[in-house]
Structure 1
């Protein structure tokens, strides 16, 4: 019996997002909120959890993201820049993979267009068909390599990087190891 079956996950079923499970699930859930803060769509100051830096309401006594009680760790009024940088690192890594994959798809479609126009036999060499392949093929290949493949790889790499940076931050902040 595999560990997956023992954990109640059917064999072959995907686990986590893009096949990655974060050791810090609260950090993963906070990604979107921190991206809002990075984009300056929400105020910089307020009441934040002293452990994970999630925004707290005035009546919150327990963080809804990490479960830390405000009595256990005093809330802070601002998110440290180092914490925002680790969320930004994940966002940028994912964006690089998505944009790079889309660009690769466009390059493949362009190469296919050039091949069809120069060396394409018969109807495959007709410029109108080649132009259709460039437009539709470029869109499809950009979606395939960018949105589907690049996003999966980018998410995994970005989330691993963010989680490693979070672990280093926790070690420095809490004085462990």
Structure 2
């Protein structure tokens, strides 16, 4: 996937994230890992993925620090693949993607839903600002701005910099 990255994308957090998790099998493997799968044969059986593709994807997830390879058997040596803290931090992303997919379906069409383990009730995940609690899906209230490490090209793309963002009037929808 690295060949798709343009020079200006190296500092873009979205581009660099997609480089790590934007591949079809990667997201499905992470989803299975969140469901408790850890072993090669579990991933392969559940996903119907070829051995070579699974090997490549797991190797990349380990190299990227999203999964950790741990031996669970010594003779012969067998490994399991366990989510790291970095890998576990992607759970809200996976949940949000699934919720977006479900939002296009009627309740009767949904094959997987998110529930509250205490109440058993279905929940609707949304992404909110941690400080204000306001939903981030309002495209007029929140915009990207150049951050402190932004290059001149990034500052040109996002002229509302981190310094001026604090002084800018609040945008409302």
TM exceeding 0.5? no
Q: Which has the higher contact order (CA 8 A, sep 6+)?
A: 1
Which structure has the bigger radius of gyration? Answer: 1
Q: Is the strand fraction higher in 1 or 2?
A: 2
TM-score by length of 2: 0.28
